[in-house]
Amino acid sequence: MNPSSVLLECKALACERDGRVLFEQLDLVINSGDVVQIEGPNGCGKTTLLRALTTLLPDYEGEITWRGESVRRNRREYLSNLLFIGHLPGVKNTLTPRENLSFLTQLQQDVSLAEIDAALAKVGLYGYEDMPGHQLSAGQLRRIALARLYLSRAQVWVLDEPYTAIDKQGVANLEALFLEHATQGGCVIMTTHQSPSIQQLKKVTLQEYSPAYRAKHRDKQCALVEKEGS
Amino acid sequence: MSTLKTNLDQHIDPSNKIPEISLMQGFWAVLKRDVITAFRQRSDMINPVVFFLMVVTMMPLGISPESKSLSFLAPGLLWVIALLATLLSLDSLFRSDYEDGSLEQVILSPQSLYFMVIAKVLSHWLTTGLPLTFVAPLLGVLLALPAEGYLPLLASLLLGTVTLSLVGAIGAALTVSLRKGGLLLSLIIMPLYVPVLIFGASCVRMAVEGFPIGGLLAILGAFCAVAIVLAPLAIAGALRMSVEA
């Protein structure tokens, strides 16, 4: 595979929520091998952007393409190459980690029990495989969802706050995993308020695409132009 | 020619291929998970049956213990209470999946949402409609249902509760994103339940009065068949809409 091939592309993307435009004219190119952090203050539309990228939110303007084809038209193929972990982990506390992980993985691909147990061991849940979810801590429940990353064959990982409730060692493991995924030709798009220690991290500051910021910026430029003119 | 070649290349590229998984894998995964969850939360599962039992036990006390008047009312009462018991259980059908985020994961699965929705409704029916159907003849005894009525009651509820689960799931899917959707759910679903109730209850009454019931059962079967084919489409659409919000 060509190492720098374009996987995802957003063209002039705009989203609104309850009648308020969150961001507009967002152009974003995500190549294979990219780790992208979407940053910005609370409420600037990070989650909305991620949900638009996963096709959960079809109500956007502009276009999102997967390998050059619109995700609206190519939804099924795109979804089979996508792994999304939202801030709700999708984990049931009536089920054991093994049952939860095997369900979530089977939605995407075939998986064997040995693979499930290996993935759970990698996120530090060895010995907890058969413990009901309501006896686990919040961090452990999130780790069940994150164990999907070790099993996934998807190229695009969209992660909303993956570091929430995860300890330092866990964060380091995740970052190593992101890098490995990137070198294998995948891409990671995430939001977080921590600063990941990944060197090739691409940052997208979503605030810069909000209408208020853009208007301010335009005014400044106009003022500059006028100054130069006089 | 060159465009043709690039198209071919893209086609061969293994990373671009949809992974081969069987059509029913999502169906079985959802069904297994939901049935396990239901059995772990037995109190939720028993709720509709207990409701059914309680109301039927109260009836002779409230109306009259005389078996003549009870047996006249029995077919309709049993059907109305079974219907309300189903309605009671509907609100939680998609609620927990919506709240823990697994509904998003189901919708984002590359597999057919249609079959996964059928699996969800099937597990709902297995844990509410089916127990209600099997308890109903026992409760018929409490209401002095004449002997000819038991088999038709069983048959009509068996067909009818499938329809009730499927149609009710449409309402549940539409209202899952509302915090207090209970009343709205009942308002949406009640009119759609009316035909099932009419044909289901009259099926039992006709049997008690000695008329043939083949036609009525056939109509209930037709409702059921149409609901199996069409309701999952509506449910899938409603779920997609609810997750957007």
What is the residue extent of each domain of chain B?
22-244
Chain A residues with CB inside 8 Å of B111's CB? 107
Do A213 and A189 lie in one domain? The reply is yes
Q: Under a CB-based contact definition with an 8 Å cutoff, are residues B120 and B94 in contact?
A: yes
Q: What is the mean pLDDT of chain B?
A: 88
Note the pTM of the prediction, 2 decimals.
Answer: 0.87
Domain count, chain A: 2
Chain A residues with CB inside 8 Å of B100's CB? 88-93
Q: Is A109 on the interface with B (CB under 8 A)?
A: yes
Do A145 and A159 lie in one domain? The reply is no
What is the DSSP code (8-state) at residue A73?
T
DSSP assignment of chain B, as one string? -HHHHHHHHHHH-GGGSPP---TTHHHHHHHHHHHHHHHHTHHHHHHHHHHHHHHHHHHHHHS-S-HHHHHHHHHHHHHHHHHHHHHHHHTTTTHHHHHHTHHHHHHTSSS-HHHHHHHHHHHHIIIIIHHHHHHHHHHHHHTT--GGGHHHHHHHHHHHHHHHHHHHHHHHHHHTTSTT-HHHHHHHHHHHHHHHHHHHHHHHHHHHHT---HHHHHHHHHHHHHHHHHHHHHHHHHHHHHHH-
Residues A116-163 pLDDT 10s: 999 999 888 899 889 988 899 988 999 999 999 999 989 999 999 998
Give the angle A144-A53-A24 at the CA atoms, nearest 5°: 135
- Please identify, among A130, A153, A176, the residue that sits at the C-terminal boundary of a domain: A153
Size of interface A-B (CB pairs under 8 A): 93
**A128: containing domain:** 90-153
- Which residue numbers in chain A have pLDDT < 50? 1-3
Residue B12 is predicted with a pLDDT of 36
Chain A residues with CB inside 8 Å of B101's CB? 86-91
Q: What share of chain A is helix, strand, coil (3-state, %, to 5)?
A: 40, 25, 40
Do A162 and A105 lie in one domain? The reply is no
Rounded distance between C-alpha atoms, residue A103 and residue A145, angstroms:
11
Least CA distance to A134: which residue of chain B? Answer: B40
Rounded distance between C-alpha atoms, residue B154 and residue B147, angstroms:
12
- Please identify, among A153, A173, A190, the residue that sits at the C-terminal boundary of a domain: A153
Predicted complex ipTM: 0.88
Chain A residues with CB inside 8 Å of B16's CB? 67, 77
Q: Is the pLDDT of residue B8 over 70?
A: no
Q: Is A16 on the interface with B (CB under 8 A)?
A: no
Determine whether the interchain pair B19/A107 forms a contact, defined as Cβ–Cβ distance below 8 Å: no
Q: Under a CB-based contact definition with an 8 Å cutoff, are residues B161 and B227 in contact?
A: no
CATH number at residue A162: 3.40.50.300
Q: What is the mean pLDDT of chain A?
A: 88
Cβ neighbors of A97 (< 8 A, separation 6 or more) are A120, A125, A128, A129, A130, A131, A133, A136, A140, A144, A147
Q: Is A65 on the interface with B (CB under 8 A)?
A: no
Least CA distance to A76: which residue of chain B? Answer: B110
Please compute the mean of the pLDDT values over residues B154-182 and round it to a whole number. 93
Give the angle B2-B5-B8 at the CA atoms, nearest 5°: 155
Counting every residue, how long is chain A?
230
Q: Under a CB-based contact definition with an 8 Å cutoff, are residues A41 and A22 in contact?
A: no
Chain B residues with CB inside 8 Å of A82's CB? 108
Do A111 and A146 lie in one domain? The reply is yes
Interface residue of A7, A81, A103, A111 to substitute, partner B, most B CBs within 10 Å: A103
Question: In chain B, which residues touch A (CB < 8 A)?
Answer: 10, 13, 15-16, 18-19, 21, 25-26, 29-30, 32-33, 36-37, 40-41, 96, 99-102, 104-111, 243-244
Interface residue of A95, A108, A111, A149 to substitute, partner B, most B CBs within 10 Å: A108
Do A51 and A160 lie in one domain? The reply is yes
Q: Is A79 on the interface with B (CB under 8 A)?
A: yes
Q: Is A1 on the interface with B (CB under 8 A)?
A: yes
Please compute the mean of the pLDDT values over residues B212-230 and round it to a whole number. 95
Interface residue of B3, B7, B15 to substitute, partner A, most A CBs within 10 Å: B15
B-contacting residues in A 25-54 (Cβ below 8 Å):
54
Do A70 and A159 lie in one domain? The reply is yes
Residue A17 is predicted with a pLDDT of 84
Residues B18-73 pLDDT 10s: 555 677 888 999 999 999 999 998 888 899 999 999 999 998 899 888 888 898 99
